[in-house]
């Protein structure tokens, strides 16, 4: 078990990479966009109930509408801004914004700006393959 993880030491997952077997097995879709790194999970630190990561979406990129049938999720915007859809709400996420996404709630991110969106994310499950990803578009 370790208590310290550095983002720059973790592999970056390209969410549109159909050749990433682990991401596709967790439910990834090659139409999706964005990049992520995992920081807290069962394999990195031994977490049994929590997963945390960092993600980026470039200008114009879209994290497709989807939901997670087995997990609640949250986002915290660190840099940039984007349009977030959570359920029936459209939200302008900016630095300092926190978004709560209850289990099975459809959500989507569209970086409709000219700058990179950077945000923290997390689940109440310790592994991506435990949250379930159902694509709604």
Q: What percent of the chain has pLDDT over 70?
A: 100
Domains of the chain (ranges plus CATH)? Answer: 10-135 (2.60.120.10)
Work out the average pLDDT over 102-115.
98
pTM, two decimal places: 0.95
Integer Rg of the chain from CA: 14
**pLDDT-based confidence at residue 2 (cuts at 50, 70, 90):** confident
Specify the DSSP element, H or E, that contains 25: helix 21-25
Q: What is the pLDDT of residues 35-48, one digit of tens each?
A: 999 999 999 999 99
- Asked if pLDDT for residue 1 goes beyond 80, the answer is no
Work out the average pLDDT over 17-41.
95
Work out the average pLDDT over 67-89.
98
The DSSP code for 110 is E
Give me the chain's average pLDDT, please. 96
Please spell the DSSP secondary structure of 26-86, one letter per residue.
TT--TT---EEEEEESHHHH--SS-EEEEEEE-TT-EEEEEE-TT--EEEEEEES-EEEEE
């Amino acid at each position: 078990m370790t208590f310290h993880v550095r983002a720059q030491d973790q592999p970056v997952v390209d969410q549109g990479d159909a050749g990433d077997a682990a991401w596709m097995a967790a439910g990834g879709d090659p139409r999706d966009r964005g990049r992520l790194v995992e920081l807290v999970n069962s394999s990195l630190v031994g977490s049994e109930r929590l997963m945390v990561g960092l993600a980026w979406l470039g200008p114009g990129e879209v994290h497709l509408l989807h939901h997670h049938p087995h997990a609640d999720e949250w986002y915290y915007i660190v840099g940039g801004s984007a349009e977030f859809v959570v359920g029936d709400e459209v939200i302008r996420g900016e630095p300092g914004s926190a978004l709560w996404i209850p289990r099975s709630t459809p959500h989507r991110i569209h970086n409709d700006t000219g700058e990179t969106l950077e945000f923290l994310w997390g689940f109440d499950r310790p592994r991506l393959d435990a949250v379930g990803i159902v694509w709604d578009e």
